[in-house]
Chain A
Amino acid sequence: MIGFGLRLAVAGGREALTRLIIISAAVAVGAGLLLATFAGVNAVNAQLTRYASLYPEPSAGGGGGEPLWWDLREDYFHGKQILRVDVAATGADSPTPIGIPSTPGPGEYYAAPALQRLLAATPHDQLGDRYPGRDLGTIGDAALTSPDSLLLIAGGTPDQVAKLPHAVRLTSIGDNTPALPETTVDLIMSVIVAGLLFPVLIFIGTATRLSAARREQRFAAMRLVGATPRQISVIAAIEAAAAALAGTALGFVLFFAFRGSLAAVPFTGDRFFTSDMSLGVLNVLVVVLGVPTGAAVAAAVSLNRVRVSPLGVTRRVTPRPPRWYRLLPLALGIAELMFFLVGPMPETSDGQTAVFLPGLLLVMTGLLLAGPLLTMVGARLMVRRSTRPTTLIAARRLADNPKAGFRAISGIMLALFITSVATGVITTIVANRGPAPIGSTDAATVATYAHDGPPSVPGTVLASLNSVPGVRSTTVLRANPVKYADAAVVACTDIPAAYGRCAAGATVAVVPDNLIPYRQSADPRRVWPASSVSLDALPRLPVESIVVLTDGSATTIERTRTILELTYPTYFVAPNVPGDFESEFANTLRGWQQLANVTIIASLALAGCSLAVSVVGGLGGRPPRGHRGTGRGLDLLRRRQRGRQSPVGVGRHMDPERHRDLPAAGRRIPSAVRQPDRPADSLQPARHRRQDRRNGPVRRPVATDRRHRGHQAAGNAAAGSPDRTALYERRVRSAVRPRRRGRGRSRPLRPRRRERRVAPGQRLQPRHAGARQHPAL
C-alpha cells in the first residue's frame, strides 16, 4: 500500500505532479524558514555565548598554577562599542586566550579585523594612540561575536593588569563563561516562535491540504472498489509525507543557498558569522522527521473529519456557529489595559510589566477566540450588503463556517499582533532612551571618572585638553564626601554656563559626576544646590571626574577621549558621552526592532502564500453542480481550470494529437447540431455570420466547428472505426425532429388570455356557463 501511495503521489499524471510540486514548493518555503529560524536562534546563542565568554568568572581555587590575568573594559568610538581585553600571562603554562596564537606581552596587541580596518582608516590622535604598542595580528573568529566586532586583546605585565578594576585570574579558558541571560534568550525565542513559527506551521498545514476535495473524491472511488478506511488513511498519509519529504529536502537546499545572505542581515544589531548559522542534530531531526510526519498526521486528521464512503465524502459534523462568550477574554483584556492606561499606572518597569503582560496575553487569546465570531458577524454584514453573486456566495460560505475561514489567517493575525506590540514598545524605548540629539550639550559632553581618586589633575593634561580645537571648557569635579547625594562637588565659578548655576550664596555646589542628572538633559537654567564643603577644602578632596564640553564634533570628542584615556589608563568605564551607553542600548533595540520587522514581513509573505495555496486548493475540486446550473461562467467559478473543462464535460485533458479517434465526448456540441433546423451557415462562428449579413457571403477556408468535426471524422476513419460522430448527429436529429409539421414548439400551450376590464365593485363573472365557479362567489 505504501508503494501504491507513493506511485499515486509521484506518477499520478500531470495534475498529481503539479499538486506534488506545489505542495513540495510550499513545504520547501516553510521548511526553509523553519531551518532559518533554528539556525538564527543558534546563531544568536553562539553570539551571546561568545560575548559572555569575554566576561569570564574568576577560576576557582585561588592562586594555584600560573594563571592568566584578564580584564575587560568598554571603550567607544563614534557611538560604537570597542571591547578592550588586557591580559597578562604569569608563566609559560598560563592559558592562552581563544582566537589568538599566543598571549601578547607588554606593548603588544591583537585586534579584530574590523578594528584593524578602523585603526587604519582613522587618525591616530582620535583612536590609534589609545592602543600603543605592536600589532601582532588579527583575532580569529572564535573569539568574536560578529564579523563587525571591535575587539582588542592587549598585553601587559601581571602587576599592571592585576591592578585594573574587575581583573580576574583564569587558570583555564572557556569553562568559566557565565550563563546566558535567560530573559534575552527567552525574548528572542518567544518573538521568533510566536511571530514566525506559527505562520510557518499553518502554511505547511495549508499546503498539505491542497486540493483535499479532489483527493477525497478519488478516495471515494477507491472505497467503492473495496479499499478499507485504513488503506485510504495510509495512502493519504503517504502522499502527504512524500510531498513533505521532497519539500523538506528542497527546504534544506534553499536554506544552504541563502544561509550566507541571512547571516549578513544584522538581526541583533550585528552580523552573524555564516558558520554560526548552523543546525544542530536535533534541529535537523526535527525538520527531517517532524515536517513529513506532521504532514502525514495532518492528512490523516483531515480525513478523520470527513467520512469517505464509497458514494462520496460527507462532512461528519456541521460546525456550530461561534457563540458570543468568545468575546469575553478579548473584552476583559482590553478593559484591563484601558483601566491601567487611564487610571493608576505603576511607576516601575517591573510593575508595568506585571500589569500589562497579562492584559496583552488576554487580548492575544481573546483575538484567537473571538476571531471566528467576528468573522461570522462580518460575513453576515457582507451578505446583507452584497450586490454581486460572487460576493454573496463568498460571504455565505464564510458565514457558514467562519472557523475554517478564520483559521487561514489566525497565524498572521497573531504574528502581526505580537510583532506590532513589540515594535511599538521598542520604538517608544528608542525614542525615550536613544542617543542625545546632535548639537545638544549632552551630545558634546565627554566625561571620565577617576578610578583611584587622584588628588589632582596634572596641568599638562588640562592644557592639552584645552588645546584640542573645539574644546570649550574643562571642569574637574571632586568627590562629594557626603553619602546619599550626587557624587561630586565643584566650585560654583567652575561650572560652565551650559550646565546651570549655583544656588544664591553658594560657593560650592553638589553636582552629578558629569554635570548632567541621570536620564535628564543639561540645562543652563538648572540651579545646583549648595554643598557643605567649603571652597578651601575643595582642593583637598580627591578627583571624581573630568568633564569636557566640546563643540560636539566627532573629531573633537574622539581626540578628547584619547587624551583622557591616556591620562587615566586604568579606567573602568572609558571616557564617554552620555549618549554612548544609550546609543549602544539603542543599537541593540534597533536590532530587535529589525528582527520584529523581518518577522512581520516574513509572516505577511507566509500569510500570502497560505492564502494563495488555500485559494488554489479550494478551486482544485469540481465546481458545485448547482453553480453551473445557474449559468455561472466557468471563469467565475474556476479560472484556474480554463481549458481543462468544457461546458459539457468535466476535467478532461484533451490532446488533439493523441485523441483523434475520440468521439465528441467532452467537447462542445455545435449549436447547429443541437438545433438541426437552423441553416447550414449557423455552423460558422457568430462573428463570421455578422460579417456575411453585412457584406455578403465570404469564402473562408473552413469554419471552426466544421473543421473540428471533419478532424474527428478523419481521425475515426484513420482508426478504422465508423464515423460515430455522424451517426450520433443523425440520431440526435431524429430524436428532436418534430413529428407533426405545423405544431412547432413555439406554439403557445394556452390561448392568450384577453384583458378584461372590471369596474370597481363589479364581480368577475365566468366566461361561459360551463365554467366552474368558486362556491364563495
Chain B
Amino acid sequence: MTIAIEARNVVFSFGTTPALRGASLAVDSGEVLAIMGPSGSGKSTLLHCLAGILVPDSGEILFDGVRVDSMTETQRSSLRRDRFGFVFQFGQLVPELTAAENVALPLMLSGTRRSEALRRAYGWFERLGLEGMEQRRSGELSGGQAQRVALARGLVAGPEVLFADEPTGSLDSLTGEQVMDLLVDAAREQGTTVIVVTHEPRVAAYAEREVLVRDGRVNAPDRIAS
C-alpha cells in the first residue's frame, strides 16, 4: 500500500483558539478512513487542512509526495478540482444550476466542454438511483437526493481522494445509510481513497479504519509516517 495523503504535526488555530495541536495522520491509497471525535475536537479542521481548504500554521500536508500546504491558492484550487472530491453535511449545491450541471461543474471548471461534462454527469445519475432528477434544481430535491447529487459531483472527476465531512449529518438514519452505501461502493469501484469525518458510529462502521481526534491531536493513529 502506498500513502495517498499524509499530515505531519499539523498545527492550526482560529485566532487565538487552537484547533489542531500537532495532528499527524497517514492514509493509504484506496483506504476508507473514518475520523471520529467529539464536537470541537478538530476533526473537521484536520479534514480541511488535508484537503487544502485551510493552510496549517505549521506542519506539513503531503499528497502524492507533494507539499499541499506550500501550494498557492490557485494550485490548491486545481488540486481540489482535478484530484479531490468533496461531500459535506449540506450538499453545497449551486442553487442556480440543475442537478446535472452541479455534477458537471468540476469538469466544466477544469475546461471540459459543457456537452461532454454533462454526458459524463448523466452517467452518475443512473448509478446513484437519481434517474429523472437531472433537470431539477437543488431546491427541488430532497435532502437525500441532494446529498447523492453532491456525491456524484464529488466523484465525477474520478478523484484520488474523496473528503466527506459529516455526509449524513443532515439526513435521517435510513437515508444516511443509503448515502453511505453509495459513497463507499462508488469510491471502492473507482479505487478512490475516502476520508470521512463523523461522530456517528454507524457511519464510521463503513470505514476500514477509524482514528480518534481529541483536543487537536490524532489519538489513535494506526500508523504514523516515520
Give A residues with C-beta under 8 Å from B: 3-4, 8, 12-13, 15-16, 218, 220-231, 309-311, 651-655, 658-659, 662-663, 665-666, 724, 727-728, 731
Whether A225 contacts B105 by the Cβ 8 Å rule is yes
- Residues of A near B78 (CB, < 8 A) are 226, 228
Please report which residues of chain B, range 102-134, place their CB below 8 angstroms from some CB of chain A when the two chains form the complex.
105-106, 108-110, 114
Q: How far is the CA of A654 from the CA of B138 in the complex (A)?
A: 11
A-B contact pairs, 9 of them (CB 8 A): A12-B96, A224-B80, A224-B88, A226-B77, A228-B77, A654-B140, A659-B140, A665-B142, A731-B174
Whether A227 contacts B109 by the Cβ 8 Å rule is yes
Q: How far is the CA of A652 from the CA of B140 in the complex (A)?
A: 6
Whether B174 contacts A225 by the Cβ 8 Å rule is no
Q: How far is the CA of A658 from the CA of B133 in the complex (A)?
A: 11
Distance of A239 from chain B, by nearest CB (Å): 10
Provided the pairs A663-B142, A728-B172, A731-B173 are in contact, do residues A226 and B106 lie with their beta carbons within 8 angstroms?
A: yes
Partner of A225, one of B48, B74, B86: B86
- Residues of B near A666 (CB, < 8 A) are 142-143
Whether A731 contacts B172 by the Cβ 8 Å rule is yes
Whether A310 contacts B109 by the Cβ 8 Å rule is no
Whether B48 contacts A226 by the Cβ 8 Å rule is no
Q: How far is the CA of A468 from the CA of B89 in the complex (A)?
A: 98
Categorize the interface residue count of chain B.
35 or more
Q: How far is the CA of A220 from the CA of B88 in the complex (A)?
A: 13
Provided the pairs A222-B105, A231-B109, A728-B172 are in contact, do residues A651 and B139 lie with their beta carbons within 8 angstroms?
A: yes
Q: How far is the CA of A221 from the CA of B53 in the complex (A)?
A: 12
Whether A230 contacts B110 by the Cβ 8 Å rule is no
Q: How far is the CA of A109 from the CA of B173 in the complex (A)?
A: 98
Whether A225 contacts B172 by the Cβ 8 Å rule is no
Partner of B48, one of A218, A311, A658, A727: A311
Whether A653 contacts B142 by the Cβ 8 Å rule is no
Whether B48 contacts A13 by the Cβ 8 Å rule is no
Provided the pairs A651-B139, A731-B172, A731-B173 are in contact, do residues A228 and B74 lie with their beta carbons within 8 angstroms?
A: yes
Distance of B60 from chain A, by nearest CB (Å): 21
Whether B96 contacts A16 by the Cβ 8 Å rule is yes
Whether A225 contacts B153 by the Cβ 8 Å rule is yes
B77, closest chain A residue (CB)? A228
Partner of B93, one of A221, A223, A309, A662: A221
B225 at the interface (CB under 8 A from A): no
Whether A227 contacts B81 by the Cβ 8 Å rule is yes
B82 at the interface (CB under 8 A from A): yes
Q: How far is the CA of A480 from the CA of B170 in the complex (A)?
A: 103
Q: How far is the CA of A218 from the CA of B97 in the complex (A)?
A: 10
Provided the pairs A310-B53, A651-B139, A655-B140 are in contact, do residues A226 and B81 lie with their beta carbons within 8 angstroms?
A: yes
Whether A224 contacts B92 by the Cβ 8 Å rule is yes
Whether A15 contacts B95 by the Cβ 8 Å rule is yes
Provided the pairs A310-B80, A665-B142, A666-B142 are in contact, do residues A222 and B96 lie with their beta carbons within 8 angstroms?
A: no
Q: Among the interface residues B48, B80, B84, B139, which one has the most CB atoms of the partner chain A within 10 A?
A: B139
Whether A15 contacts B142 by the Cβ 8 Å rule is no
The 8 closest A-B pairs by CB, nearest first: A226-B81, A12-B96, A665-B142, A228-B77, A226-B80, A221-B92, A653-B139, A665-B143
B73 at the interface (CB under 8 A from A): yes
- Residues of B near A16 (CB, < 8 A) are 96
Q: How far is the CA of A16 from the CA of B94 in the complex (A)?
A: 11
Whether B140 contacts A658 by the Cβ 8 Å rule is yes
Whether A13 contacts B95 by the Cβ 8 Å rule is yes
Q: How far is the CA of A224 from the CA of B102 in the complex (A)?
A: 12
- Residues of A near B209 (CB, < 8 A) are none
- Residues of B near A221 (CB, < 8 A) are 92-94
Q: How far is the CA of A8 from the CA of B95 in the complex (A)?
A: 10
Distance of A718 from chain B, by nearest CB (Å): 13
Distance of B17 from chain A, by nearest CB (Å): 15
Q: How far is the CA of A369 from the CA of B48 in the complex (A)?
A: 43
A728, closest chain B residue (CB)? B172
Q: How far is the CA of A665 from the CA of B147 in the complex (A)?
A: 12
Provided the pairs A13-B95, A225-B81, A225-B106 are in contact, do residues A728 and B142 lie with their beta carbons within 8 angstroms?
A: no
Whether B77 contacts A223 by the Cβ 8 Å rule is yes
Secondary structure dominating the interface of B:
helix
Distance of A728 from chain B, by nearest CB (Å): 6
- Residues of B near A227 (CB, < 8 A) are 77, 81, 109
Distance of B162 from chain A, by nearest CB (Å): 12
Distance of B77 from chain A, by nearest CB (Å): 4
- Residues of B near A218 (CB, < 8 A) are 94-96
- Residues of B near A231 (CB, < 8 A) are 109
Q: How far is the CA of A222 from the CA of B104 in the complex (A)?
A: 12
B144 at the interface (CB under 8 A from A): yes
Known pairs A224-B92, A227-B81, A310-B53. 12 more at Cβ < 8 A?
A: A3-B114, A12-B97, A13-B137, A221-B92, A222-B105, A224-B88, A226-B80, A226-B84, A311-B54, A652-B140, A662-B145, A666-B142
Whether B53 contacts A311 by the Cβ 8 Å rule is yes
Whether B140 contacts A724 by the Cβ 8 Å rule is no
- Residues of B near A13 (CB, < 8 A) are 95-96, 137, 139
Partner of A4, one of B48, B108, B140: B108
Distance of A397 from chain B, by nearest CB (Å): 23
Whether A665 contacts B153 by the Cβ 8 Å rule is no
B105, closest chain A residue (CB)? A225
Distance of B146 from chain A, by nearest CB (Å): 9
- Residues of A near B86 (CB, < 8 A) are 224-225
Provided the pairs A218-B94, A218-B95 are in contact, do residues A662 and B142 lie with their beta carbons within 8 angstroms?
A: yes
Whether A665 contacts B77 by the Cβ 8 Å rule is no
Q: How far is the CA of A653 from the CA of B106 in the complex (A)?
A: 25
Could you mark each residue 66-86 of chain B with 1 if its beta carbon is under 8 Å from any beta carbon of chain A, else 0? 000000011001111110101
Distance of B66 from chain A, by nearest CB (Å): 17
Whether A727 contacts B174 by the Cβ 8 Å rule is yes
Q: How far is the CA of A230 from the CA of B77 in the complex (A)?
A: 11
Partner of B82, one of A224, A226, A310, A724: A226
Q: How far is the CA of A166 from the CA of B173 in the complex (A)?
A: 100
Provided the pairs A231-B109, A724-B174, A731-B173 are in contact, do residues A15 and B96 lie with their beta carbons within 8 angstroms?
A: yes
A219, closest chain B residue (CB)? B94
Provided the pairs A12-B96, A653-B137 are in contact, do residues A229 and B73 lie with their beta carbons within 8 angstroms?
A: yes
Distance of A395 from chain B, by nearest CB (Å): 27
- Residues of B near A311 (CB, < 8 A) are 48, 53-54
Q: How far is the CA of A310 from the CA of B53 in the complex (A)?
A: 7
- Residues of A near B93 (CB, < 8 A) are 221
Q: How far is the CA of A728 from the CA of B95 in the complex (A)?
A: 27
A735, closest chain B residue (CB)? B173
Distance of B42 from chain A, by nearest CB (Å): 15
- Residues of B near A658 (CB, < 8 A) are 140
A220, closest chain B residue (CB)? B92
Q: How far is the CA of A486 from the CA of B27 in the complex (A)?
A: 108
Distance of A554 from chain B, by nearest CB (Å): 69
Q: How far is the CA of A455 from the CA of B122 in the complex (A)?
A: 107
Q: How far is the CA of A598 from the CA of B145 in the complex (A)?
A: 56
- Residues of A near B172 (CB, < 8 A) are 728, 731
- Residues of B near A229 (CB, < 8 A) are 73-74, 77
Q: How far is the CA of A658 from the CA of B78 in the complex (A)?
A: 37
Whether A8 contacts B142 by the Cβ 8 Å rule is no
Could you mark each residue 7-36 of chain B with 1 if its beta carbon is under 8 Å from any beta carbon of chain A, else 0? 000000000000000000000000000000
